[in-house]
Amino acid sequence: MKKLLIFTLILMFLTIFGVAYSYNENSAMVKGAIKSTVAIVSENGIGTGFFVDIDGYIVTAKHVVQGLRKVKVYTRDWEVYSGRVVAEHEKQDIAIVKIEVINPVTVLEPAPARSIEEGDDVYMVGHIFAIPWTLKKGIISRADWEDEEGWKYIQIDGGIAEGMSGSAVVDHWGRVIGIIVMGMPFGMGNIGFALETNQFVKWVEDIIIKDWNRMNVLISW
């Protein structure tokens, strides 16, 4: 509750005074990542998500919205929406939230499969310790970590902190190579793990199509 209050106060301050952040917004890649990122606030805490469709579909980590039907979503333009939790992946820490957008949103595109290597720089935008829209830079320390069930992750060294669950991990071209789903416990290193985009992009596309069709049928009636 204390973190939610701090987050709300920071948002109010930035909205009123238009304070600029310390990150560099000169590149189109950084601007796109920042504009696409949203803050998801609920009784589960504060998490991050990003737009994947112009109709207001957002991908986030499942534990950010787990067990909930509605959440509050803040966009980078200081708009506040009621978000509907559309779906949660059965086996992975991935979920989809939908808002009814008023203004156009910036959508991030997935990177081609296996387009990364160890040593590549990556970028993430999250709400670290309730400080919103913080840009972080990391490096891929392992590009092919696989768990016992065969799910593939990207290990990232640097830039991972509390409040970044659900953050998109983007490359130099602003393409999504993964989503932050795990981090090391505080004090055990600045390492995080992102589920590779090609592990969930098909599921996201299928859910969006099904939900869009269902909602439009309901509206037509």
Note the helical H segments in the chain: 2-17, 28-36, 62-65, 201-220
Number of CB atoms found within 10 A of residue 45's CB: 17
pLDDT, position 62: 95
What is the mean pLDDT of each successive set of 10 residues along the chain, which is 221 residues long?
53 43 57 93 92 96 94 93 95 95 92 84 86 89 86 85 88 92 64 90 93 63 28
C-beta separation of 32 from 145 below 8 A = no
Distance (Å, rounded) from C-alpha 181 to C-alpha 93?
Answer: 6
Cα gap 169→203, rounded to integer Å: 18
For position 16, what pLDDT does the model report?
A: 39
- Hunting for tokens 């595109």 — which residue is that? 109
Which residue, 178, 170, 168, 181, is CA-closest to 199?
178
Looking at domain 2-108, what is its CATH homologous superfamily? Trypsin-like serine proteases (2.40.10.10)
The confidence score (pLDDT) of residue 195 equals 93
Closest listed residue to residue 192, CA positions, set 146, 151, 138: 138
- Asked whether the beta carbons of 46 and 39 are under 8 A apart, the reply is yes
Contact between 33 and 174 (Cβ < 8 Å): yes
| pTM summary value | 0.84
pLDDT at 3 (0 to 100): 53
Tell me how crowded residue 64 is: count the other CB atoms within 10 A of its CB: 23
What is residue 49's predicted lDDT score, i.e. its pLDDT? 97
Rounded Cα gap, residues 66 and 87, in angstroms: 10
Domain-wise residue ranges, the chain? 2-108
